[in-house]
Structure 1
């Protein structure tokens, strides 16, 4: 199933008419490039870390649940944390049970948030791929509705509403810098913007699922680790994201853990934005000059998640 702009517009209409209390219209903060130490006209920060559940994932997970009948056993998902939190929040909103399989690398802060939302939390192996296998086996037993962290059309459509929102708030940016794990976010963003804006894919050097797929000419399994593995630790790029990024995304760049951590701390120390490492990749790309904008360019950074232990920012 392909994703198109009409589906994204229809999803946003449903959110605004029935679930505006749940899906927030997050701010778009416009700053001169110099305020972030970048030689460009403007930098826009889409503050999606202020979304319900602390990440953009709420959009796709709620859309998945609204688009399908939910059995008495409820919903089930495997997640490094954010997709699970979003699914649990959406399930609580709709009054249905939720079971979440997390890998051992998931942070204690994210597990605590899942429990607070009423989800049943299960640890399913060392990495996300292991948790997914355990989740799929459990789903066969219970018949619960499976919500995938990134590789379902409804998930991409929901993420695309964030890109539509950016255009409504500010018009078309020249470029949009997007963190990539399994590809749900960039799949939605690229489906909305197409070639009207330059969409740039960013991954940690230690979790390069899209980068390695491009080298191989197809999605392949990769080893994952590093500072952002709990959010961007998919071993293989999603098939839907692979298709859309092949058509719509020219640039796939890698960033060091050091640059990501430096950008994360900069966002906190200079702008008082408490975000997780995955949300810092766009700024890291600018500060490390992995992405160098034109002097007249407007660059949009997707600040995608806030599920971080505040103590880690000291």
Structure 2
């Protein structure tokens, strides 16, 4: 079996990029298994994801040769081992539906993850974590201890060599500094169809406005609250008879599904950042 890799890249658009990438891989014995590309006419950028097998070069040799090749196109690129599970830390508060869903999908082999730790500002889910044999870190957060709590959270992320941090209904606003440290590798689930109903208690806001659809949004975490690049969204239909509690109950399934899809695509290196938007090769 050949070693499988995933190459993702973006660069200024020009003719011949697909031909050049294909030729580069062919010359090194690469066998393309999956490829997708997108030209953004608004930004003039080209995006591509290629999954391929190759045995003639090591991972490090491929990276060295790719750097020389990519420089001629001014490419931003990454080369990942396709079968390597992504080291992940999940953060949660007192709502456990998204956490439970992610753990079940992971253990069922549906997510290419290696869940290394769970961090929570409450103790509610330490038994759930133990049932999956995942280390649980209780890190209380108050206004007075927020800086120390974030330092502890980041310590866990670094110690576990986490490539992904999932805020699975972690009801804390991260500082600008921590957002910068986790840029492009932290996914949040917000329980509304952004950009509607940002911030706290979106189901209360939705009920107050009498909406007929409620939604959920998975997005990358940035310093601007609920403004990060959107990865996935979905909605559920409701009506005038639904209470806030009803909206919350209906929304849980939507939140779990939306977050799971976003985590899956990210872990398979299918999401490329395009400014404040994303390009997703499903």
What's the TM-score bracket when you normalise by the shorter of the two chains?
0.3 to 0.5
Which protein is richer in strand relative to its size?
2
TM-score of the aligned structures, taking structure 2 as reference length: 0.32
Rg comparison, structure with higher value: 2
Which protein is richer in helix relative to its size?
1
TM-score of the aligned structures, taking structure 1 as reference length: 0.30
